[in-house]
Chains A and B, each alone.
Chain A
Amino acid sequence: MLLQRFLVRLLTMLVTLFGVAIVVFVVIRVAPGDPIAMMLPPGASDDDIARLRALYGLDKGIVQQFFIWLGGVLHGNFGASISLRQDVLGLVFNRLPATLELATVALLMAIALGTSAAILGARSRGTAVETGIDIVSGATLSIPDFLWGLVLILLFGVLVPVFDISGRVSPQLDLPFVTQFYLVESILRLRFDLTWDLLKHMLMPAVALALPLAAIIAQLLKQSLKEVLDLDYVVLARVKGFSETQVVLREALKNAALPTLTLVGVQFTFLIGGTVIVERLFSYEGLGNMAIDAVVNRDLPLIQGIVLVFALLFVLINLAVDMMYALLNPRLRHG
């Protein structure tokens, strides 16, 4: 049953990715403006243009171009970036870890913040504290990450300049890293001075990404907690003499978390989508920042590669959440 569900989802996922590949390919090819002409210095002869066009396969029909490209992608060959003149896959893998670290730190912050607010709200239900949490989370939710980023730049970059608001790591530092997962590697190498520097750079963009999600978690989890807290077994625990906080933490949370979990999965993809502009805002050297440069430079192969990697990430997260939900939900497990 579970395996069947997995296989169906996997198939849908492949269809979705194929659709993304088609859309991105078509969108880029109908673009007016000639990327080849932009690569060459003014005064290049028609012969030069034609030769370069053939080199990048742009002289063939659009359907043929698509399948040549798709065939390459399936063999791990995403082509070469026109503006950076390097292998697309290498460029993407070079930047992806920075984005993954940022998104993961943001997700953990959102979960910690949202869960704390939900527990506090459920514990003090019916009081002014709960109303306060409702109002704050409602407003936090409505303000997107782009605006939060700007607010944080003003507050902690200018007004009280305690955090770095630009870049991923201080440029004067000597980095011993062999992978691009700087944060993970700095911890593994016990170089906590570097960890601290990385976190100081990462904190502001991560908070900007985390705040809207934290608000959503706070609202939904508080609602589920309040429902669970009225159930018999929780009332029994309370009668047995557990304190309200113990009741919430030990009994209610476990059973209230499932609906929130599904939502967090979907929202995590939105958070990753938000890294594109937040990285730009904080000059953080991740995939999203590179994507905007690629669009501005009309670097077709690089755009295609980046969009496909983002799409792959999104469908993989959805697949993982769906499987996790199926595993944790007894109705589906035995259905």
Chain B
Amino acid sequence: MDEASIARRGLSPRLWLAGGWLLLALLAAIFAPLVAPQDPLAQDLMLERLPPFWLDGAEPGYWLGTDSLGRDLLSRLIFGGRIAFIVAFAAATSACLLGSALGLIAGYVGGWADRIISRIVDVWMAFPPVLFAILLVAVLGTGLSSVILAIAIIDWTRFCRVIRAEAMSQARMDYVESARIAGYGRIGIMLREVLPNVLPSVVALLSLEMGIAVIVEAILSFVNLSISTDDPTWGSIIAEGRLSIHQAWWVLVFPLITLILTVLSFSQFGEALKARFDPVLR
């Protein structure tokens, strides 16, 4: 593929939409206190179950309506984005660091190290991931750091498997052999030669993992095991929406749309990065 078509692929409308949505959601989350029209925690029983702005009975200032306690839905979504993005970045990065390190060791060092790490991956793959996450958070105690830690503990295998395979094929390449002859040590070769070559796969996986982390956080919130129940999260809003689905459908619809757009955007981003860096496709 020539340079022009790579550029075209990189600038596809899908990528623009995905990047645009993520940027918008991220900025809204960062500047939540400035952007949110209402206090996300303020309850007002006079304002309960207001519909979104285009329906009869809507109140100005409550664009997406309110939930059964009269809390503004848009403001709760914006503040919930903070948790979602913190979990996405922190959990995905931790899982990536742990998995890539073990994957590099297994793939490049091989032998006993590989056998032990691969066995551990096998064991991890035999756990239903959602149940594992729920179990870990129940054990670690609810809270932001527990959620992040649980996701990292569960999902490092995704990175480990891919990086192990990459590192194995890289380790057989000529340039690694030349580096060895040139007198570089194992760790030196691993960090200076092999790591940069597996980096593109890592970056693509990282984007996918961020989407997965957002979902896992939402699932944990949904079963009431994420962070404290006071702070709005996308999952806890969905849980409320599921309960009041026949009285106020918007409480479920808007967080659902938000989650779907976010997850799709992360995966599109990852796919585009993979296509951009994958030597086979290039």
Q: Which residues of A contact B (CB under 8 A)?
A: 12, 15-17, 19-20, 23-24, 27-28, 30-32, 138-139, 142-144, 146-147, 150-151, 153-154, 157-158, 269, 272-274, 276-277, 280-281, 288, 291-292, 295-296, 298, 303, 306-307, 310-311, 314-315
Q: Which residues of A contact B139 (CB under 8 A)?
A: 27-28, 30-32
- Complex contact A20–B136 (CB within 8 A): no
Which chain B residue has the least Cβ–Cβ distance from A22? B123
Q: Which bucket holds chain B's interface residue count?
A: 35 or more
Q: Which residues of B contact A138 (CB under 8 A)?
A: 271
Q: Which residues of A contact B253 (CB under 8 A)?
A: 154
Q: Which residues of B contact A19 (CB under 8 A)?
A: 119-120, 122-123, 126
- Complex contact B259–A153 (CB within 8 A): no
- Complex contact A311–B127 (CB within 8 A): yes
Q: Is B33 interfacial (CB 8 A cutoff)?
A: no
Which chain B residue has the least Cβ–Cβ distance from A312? B126
Q: Which residues of B contact A158 (CB under 8 A)?
A: 245-246, 249
Asked if A272 meets B128 with Cβ closer than 8 Å, knowing A19-B120, A153-B245, A292-B134, the reply is yes
- Complex contact B252–A154 (CB within 8 A): yes
Q: Which of A16, A27, A31 sits near B126, CB closer than 8 Å?
A: A16
- Complex contact A314–B130 (CB within 8 A): no
Asked if A153 meets B219 with Cβ closer than 8 Å, knowing A307-B135, A310-B131, the reply is no
Q: Which residues of A contact B131 (CB under 8 A)?
A: 273, 276, 288, 291-292, 295, 306-307, 310
Complex: A16 Cα to B122 Cα, angstroms: 6
Within 8 A of A (CB), among B194-241: 211-212, 215, 218-219, 222-223, 225, 238
Which chain B residue has the least Cβ–Cβ distance from A273? B128
- Complex contact B135–A303 (CB within 8 A): yes
- Complex contact B267–A147 (CB within 8 A): no
- Complex contact B126–A311 (CB within 8 A): yes
Complex: A221 Cα to B215 Cα, angstroms: 28
Q: Which residues of A contact B246 (CB under 8 A)?
A: 158
Q: Which residues of B contact A139 (CB under 8 A)?
A: 264
* 16 more A-B residue pairs beyond the given contacts A16-B123, A153-B252, with a C-beta to C-beta distance below 8 A: A19-B119, A19-B126, A20-B123, A32-B139, A143-B260, A144-B263, A146-B215, A146-B219, A146-B222, A154-B252, A280-B222, A280-B223, A288-B131, A292-B223, A296-B225, A306-B131
Asked if A314 meets B125 with Cβ closer than 8 Å, knowing A154-B249, A157-B245, the reply is yes
How far in angstroms is the closest Cβ of chain B from A200? 18
Q: Which residues of B contact A12 (CB under 8 A)?
A: 122
Complex: A158 Cα to B218 Cα, angstroms: 22
How far in angstroms is the closest Cβ of chain A from B151? 14
Complex: A15 Cα to B246 Cα, angstroms: 49
Asked if A295 meets B242 with Cβ closer than 8 Å, knowing A146-B215, A272-B128, the reply is no
Complex: A312 Cα to B219 Cα, angstroms: 24
Q: Is B26 interfacial (CB 8 A cutoff)?
A: no
Q: Which of B127, B223, B271 sits near A20, CB closer than 8 Å?
A: B127
Complex: A49 Cα to B274 Cα, angstroms: 57
Q: Which residues of B contact A315 (CB under 8 A)?
A: 126
Q: Is B188 interfacial (CB 8 A cutoff)?
A: no
Q: Which residues of A contact B122 (CB under 8 A)?
A: 12, 15-16, 19
